[in-house]
Chains A and B, each alone.
Chain A
Amino acid sequence: MDFKLKIWRQKNAREKGGFRTYPINDVSPEMSFLEMLDYLNKQIIESGGEPVTFEHDCREGICGSCGLFINGRPHGPMRRTTTCELHMREFTDGDTIVIEPWRSKAFPIIKDLVVDRSSFERIMHAGGFISVDTGSAPESNSLPVSKNNSDKAFDAAACIGCGACVAACKNSSAMLFAAAKIAQYALVTQGKAEAKERVDKMVRQMDAEGFGYCSNTYGCEFDCPKGISIDFIALMNREFFSSKVCRQIPGRYTRKV
């Protein structure tokens, strides 16, 4: 297979980037998208050029490192698939493939196709955890969790934090990510104790990072490689509302004598 690749090249965060076109020939349809880029980089290096920088790690769709905006879609044309699991057989021979980095104020470009997604980590630092003492694992039957809730929490926890939701959103909103991370704790017993503080802190951190606001276009759900549902955004909205209405402020309930 032969392709024309139109790739965003940018030296560093400060310099202005631009597209460069690379013809690539003899691509096997069995190659993954990242293998195709490896193959391109081999050719660029052999001809003495600077290889295209892109992020990758597990290459089996679970680490969330790879994330390329391919022909107008995050992770390319195939639904429920990360870039690393996308294969060249999904394209037509002779296609021009446009490859861009995620574009969002909260995801500044580091180099070429690599963006800085530490804003996601700061959202997690703000409340994406449970405070428990370390030690031996507690008796699992002492924590009652309904099957329905544990299944739902697991669906939410399938989020790999790749940022496709932000990339797919016309407002570059991170609500699907935040909602999944809030829901995975809010639905189970372990997470309930801190649920109200957590949702407030994580939402505020998300806002502070400069992500856009949700306008319910549901593009995030469509392009999420893990199929995270926008139902979790509604759950986050509910959690947030109850955190505002029913949060108990320490000391406020002590009767003065």
Chain B
Amino acid sequence: MKKKATTLPSLSQKYIMAVAGIFLMLFLIFHLATNLLMLAGDGGKQFGNVVNFLTENPAVKIMEYILFAGFLLHIILGVILQVHNYRARPVRYHSRLQTETSQFSRYMIHTGVIILVFLVIHLMNFFFIRLGWVAVPDHAESRHDFFSMAVVLFQNPWYSLVYIVSFVFLGFHLKHAFQSAFQSLGLNHTKYTPAIKVIGTIYALAISIGFSLIPLYFLFIF
């Protein structure tokens, strides 16, 4: 009895997942670099300049669509893969699986969902305001005045806490994601893979700590 597959091969799906993931990881570096300008201590002047440059640049506009596509692809495919994986074991084990695996790798969908929830909050607070989908808050001068919006949001300790916790989970997600993307693309090497794992850990820490510095700055120093 031969069964026939009708969907995209599993490995193709993994490839798409990895490529979209690497694209999002590159975006995070860029986003962090921009955001850290808020800590320059000049009342958001440099940060505002970069925001203005980005919002007026047509090439960035195109990149925004690609970025959105990257997010959607990664999220939707992630959910599809997870549902497929749950269904591949309809009857679960009675005893808890004792096989040793990294904690980070086991909870990718869980950390992923937390990041998705954060992403929605984040877009509501900033990006959708710029697009005009959400009303501009009173304290902001214009819908491009992200600095004032950030100041008010981060001076609320609860918001800052949610923000930092989300980035801790993003760090967990990235810790596994970085080396996993290389493995999925078949880029595995006796010499380089250990280095990739180290770089992945540094990257995950840098993103987590880097983004968390911003609410801490506005809470305690600004």
Q: Find out whether the CB atom of A105 lies under 8 angstroms from the CB atom of B88.
A: yes
- For chain B, residues 82 to 120, give those with C-beta under 8 angstroms from any C-beta of chain A: 84-85, 87-102, 105-106, 108
CB distance from B20 to the nearest CB of A (A): 15
Q: Find out whether the CB atom of A103 lies under 8 angstroms from the CB atom of B89.
A: yes
Q: A73-B98, A207-B9, A240-B9 are in contact. Are A216 and B183 (CB under 8 A)?
A: yes
Instruction: Tell me if A170 counts as interface (CB < 8 A to partner B).
Output: yes
Which among A25-33, A82-90, A218-226 touches the partner chain?
Answer: A218-226
Q: Find out whether the CB atom of B88 lies under 8 angstroms from the CB atom of A210.
A: yes
CA distance in complex: A91, B195 (Å): 38
Instruction: Tell me if B15 counts as interface (CB < 8 A to partner A).
Output: yes
Chain A residues with CB below 8 A from B14, complex form? 213-214, 237
CB distance from B69 to the nearest CB of A (A): 21
B contact residues, range: 35 or more
Chain A residues with CB below 8 A from B85, complex form? 170-173, 212-213, 215
Chain A residues with CB below 8 A from B10, complex form? 175, 203, 206-207, 213-214
Chain B residues with CB below 8 A from A71, complex form? 95, 98
Which among B143-151, B160-168, B185-193, B214-222 touches the partner chain?
Answer: B185-193
Instruction: Tell me if A67 counts as interface (CB < 8 A to partner B).
Output: no
Q: Find out whether the CB atom of A219 lies under 8 angstroms from the CB atom of B188.
A: no
Q: Find out whether the CB atom of B89 lies under 8 angstroms from the CB atom of A212.
A: yes
Chain B residues with CB below 8 A from A235, complex form? 186, 188
Q: Find out whether the CB atom of B95 lies under 8 angstroms from the CB atom of A219.
A: no
Q: A74-B99, A214-B14, A240-B11 are in contact. Are A105 and B184 (CB under 8 A)?
A: no
Chain B residues with CB below 8 A from A206, complex form? 10
CB distance from B208 to the nearest CB of A (A): 21
Within 8 Å by CB of A207, from B7, B90, B96, lies B7
Within 8 Å by CB of B89, from A105, A209, A213, lies A105
Identity of the chain B residue whose Cβ is nearest the Cβ of A125 in the assembled complex: B2
CA distance in complex: A236, B5 (Å): 19
Q: Find out whether the CB atom of B92 lies under 8 angstroms from the CB atom of A98.
A: no
CA distance in complex: A208, B8 (Å): 11
Identity of the chain A residue whose Cβ is nearest the Cβ of B103 in the assembled complex: A217
Chain B residues with CB below 8 A from A216, complex form? 105, 176, 179-180, 183-184
Q: Find out whether the CB atom of A208 lies under 8 angstroms from the CB atom of B88.
A: no
Chain A residues with CB below 8 A from B5, complex form? 204-205, 207-208
CA distance in complex: A20, B192 (Å): 49
Q: Find out whether the CB atom of A211 lies under 8 angstroms from the CB atom of B98.
A: no
Instruction: Tell me if B13 counts as interface (CB < 8 A to partner A).
Output: yes
Interface mask (A13-31 → B, CB under 8 Å = 1, otherwise 0): 0000001000000000000
CA distance in complex: A157, B88 (Å): 26
CA distance in complex: A8, B184 (Å): 36
Q: Find out whether the CB atom of A218 lies under 8 angstroms from the CB atom of B105.
A: yes
Q: Which B residues form the contact surface with A (CB < 8 A)?
A: 1-5, 7, 9-15, 81, 84-85, 87-102, 105-106, 108, 176, 179-180, 183-188, 190
Top 10 closest pairs, chain A to chain B, by CB? A234-B188, A238-B186, A212-B88, A72-B98, A237-B186, A171-B85, A217-B105, A208-B5, A212-B85, A217-B101
Q: Which A residues form the contact surface with B (CB < 8 A)?
A: 8, 19, 69, 71-74, 77, 98, 100, 103-106, 122, 125, 168, 170-173, 175, 200, 203-219, 222-223, 230-231, 233-241, 244
